[in-house]
């Protein structure tokens, strides 16, 4: 396993613990109570606020953790308002996925894409490099789901079992520590201090959370998405293998042959986007990104353009796993 891969795994694990502390100290439940006051009993308002809050939280927390923690709250809001929770829970799922595009640690596929870039000799995306694109996804996705998509979804009236988790009471002291720790780590990451690498900052933050008893050590271990850690570490071999075996160059040449002798950058990026977005619906998003990343680097090198815009397109398209239930572990 390369040092870069280890660094990303450590960063992800630390941020997962820090993000989970927001739930364990009751901050998210406090946010939920504010949501109820804002939305009233209007289903569209509940869907809209659910999307906004889940987008915000999943930008700094594990999206799976956001969905699990907010599901009981969203369900309770819907039941008290007199309608089934299925639409709002789906809004929660999509909002958590949208928010995952805002930072490098929002979803595991973002970190995997950065790691694949580093293994291919490129400077990987930074913690906030994806933010401008992620904000656009959040805004457009939220508007579409609220005003169009939700109308196409039937209300099944089903209340899932995972929506019956225990509510966390607000502990003001621990909540303050968790919020300040999260803010401090994000500042260090954004400033990119050479003296304090970002993965070290995340580990220090996680140690502060556990050391101040905002979370127990057992809860901190549970907060880490170990499946994500394994995928980031092991599936990097796919990308490296595609590059080293020459498969990437071969597929790149096929793409160029299909597009003609002088293909436009727009046509190439469009083809790669739709190919990545389609494949990720039937294949987990991380392997999709790791498969296409070396191919796009080969294509970019052969036509003499920067690989970074195409790398960003693959990162976004590869994680656009919305059409099937097995495209991402929701």
Average pLDDT, the chain: 78
Instruction: Count how many Cα atoms sit within 13 Å of the Cα of residue 234 in the half-sphere of its side chain.
Output: 6
Q: Which residues of the chain have pLDDT under 70?
A: 1-5, 8, 28-29, 31-33, 35-36, 62, 64-65, 68-69, 72, 76, 106, 159-167, 190, 192, 228, 231-244, 246-253, 255-256, 260-263, 281-284, 321-330
Residue 163: its pLDDT value, please? 45
pLDDT in tens, 258-306: 776 666 777 777 888 887 777 776 666 777 787 778 877 887 877 788 8
Residue 124: its pLDDT value, please? 85
Max CA-CA distance within the chain? 64
The token pair at 119 is 């293994």
Which alpha helices (DSSP H) does 26-158 contain, by range?
27-39, 43-58, 63-81, 86-99, 108-119, 131-147
Residue 162: its pLDDT value, please? 42
Nearest to 224 by CA among 25, 2, 21: 21
| Euclidean distance between CA atoms 311 and 330, whole angstroms | 24
| Euclidean distance between CA atoms 217 and 118, whole angstroms | 32
Please check whether residue 251 is in contact with residue 294, taking contact to mean a CB–CB distance below 8 angstroms.
no
Residue 246: its pLDDT value, please? 66
Nearest to 192 by CA among 123, 106, 138: 123
| Euclidean distance between CA atoms 118 and 114, whole angstroms | 6
* 36 SS3 class: helix
Nearest to 59 by CA among 1, 115, 4, 133: 133
Residue 182: its pLDDT value, please? 84
Count other C-beta atoms under 10 Å from residue 293's C-beta. Answer: 31
DSSP assignment, residue 319? T
pLDDT in tens, 186-208: 788 767 677 888 789 889 999 99
Residue 303: its pLDDT value, please? 78
Our measurement of the distance from residue 231's CA atom to the centroid of its chain's CA atoms, rounded to an integer in Å, reads 14
300: exposed, middle or buried (Cβ count in 10 Å: 0-12, 13-18, 19+)? buried
Percent of the chain scoring above 90 in pLDDT:
12
Please check whether residue 73 is in contact with residue 32, taking contact to mean a CB–CB distance below 8 angstroms.
yes
Q: How many helices and strands in the chain, by DSSP H and E?
A: 16, 0
The token pair at 20 is 């989970």
């Amino acid at each position: 396993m390369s040092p870069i891969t280890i660094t990303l795994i450590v960063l992800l694990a630390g941020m997962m613990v820090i993000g989970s502390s927001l739930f364990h100290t009751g901050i998210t439940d406090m946010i939920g109570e504010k949501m109820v006051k804002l939305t009233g009993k209007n289903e569209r308002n509940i869907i809209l606020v659910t999307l906004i809050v889940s987008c915000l939280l999943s930008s700094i927390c594990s999206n799976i953790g956001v969905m699990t923690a907010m599901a009981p709250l969203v369900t309770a809001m819907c039941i008290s308002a007199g309608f089934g929770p299925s639409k709002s829970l789906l809004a929660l799922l999509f909002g958590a996925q949208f928010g995952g595009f805002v930072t490098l640690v929002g979803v595991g596929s973002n970190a995997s894409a950065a790691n694949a870039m580093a293994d291919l000799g490129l400077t990987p995306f930074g913690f906030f490099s994806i933010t401008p694109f992620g904000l656009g996804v959040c805004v457009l996705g939220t508007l579409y789901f609220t005003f169009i998509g939700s109308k196409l979804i039937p209300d099944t009236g089903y209340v899932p079992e995972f929506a019956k988790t225990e509510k966390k009471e607000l502990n003001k002291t621990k909540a303050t520590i968790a919020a300040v720790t999260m803010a401090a780590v994000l500042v260090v990451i954004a400033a990119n201090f050479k003296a304090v690498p970002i993965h070290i900052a995340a580990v220090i933050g996680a140690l502060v959370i556990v050391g101040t008893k905002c979370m127990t050590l057992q809860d901190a271990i549970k907060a880490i998405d170990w499946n994500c850690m394994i995928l980031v570490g092991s599936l990097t071999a796919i990308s490296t293998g595609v590059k080293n075996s020459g498969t990437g160059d071969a597929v790149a040449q096929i793409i160029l042959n299909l597009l003609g002798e002088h293909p436009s950058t727009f046509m190439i990026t469009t083809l790669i986007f739709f190919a990545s977005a389609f494949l990720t619906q039937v294949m987990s998003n991380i392997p999709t990104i790791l498969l296409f990343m070396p191919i796009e680097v080969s294509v970019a090198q052969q036509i003499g353009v920067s690989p970074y815009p195409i790398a960003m397109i693959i990162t976004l398209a590869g994680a656009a796993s919305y059409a099937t239930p097995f495209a991402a572990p929701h």
